[in-house]
Structure formats: structure tokens, C-alpha cells
Amino acid sequence: MGGLYVGGETVQITMKLPVNIVLIIQALILFFVLGGDILSRYRLAFDRQEAPSGG
């Protein structure tokens, strides 16, 4: 988290971006990191139901 904060400040100073853009980039990075962790732990399982054979 500290690296993300310091890196955001560095990008803001170097590229002369507004602070809101840096905060959006930080939020997206955190969202995708946490989202990837959640998706890797909890997988969706779909049960296949066989169609009844009417004969």
C-alpha cells in the first residue's frame, strides 16, 4: 500500500496529472488485485442436469 501511495505521488509529479486521476488508477489497481484473489479462491460450479429421456 505504501508503494502504491508513493508511486502515485511520483506519477503525479512526473506526468503532471491531477490527483483525482492518480486516485482512480490506484483504486483500479486495488480492485483488480482483490478481485483476482477472490475469483481465484471462489470458483463458480455449474451442475449439469441431464434432460429427461421421454422414450
Q: How far apart are CA 22 and CA 25, in angstroms?
A: 5
pTM over 0.85: no
Residue 50 counted as domain residue: no
Q: Which residues form the domain of 15? A: 2-41
Report yes or no on 46 lying in a domain: no
**For residue 48, is it within any domain?**
no
Distance CA 8, CA 25 (A): 8
Number of domains in the chain: 1
pLDDT in tens, 10-55: 888 899 889 898 889 889 999 998 888 887 888 767 777 776 666 5
**Alpha-carbon separation of residue 35 from 23, 31, 41, 51 (angstroms):** 18, 6, 10, 35
Residue 55 lies in a domain: no
Residue 53 inside a domain? The answer is no
54 within some domain: no
What is the structure's pLDDT at 54? 61
24 in any annotated domain:
yes
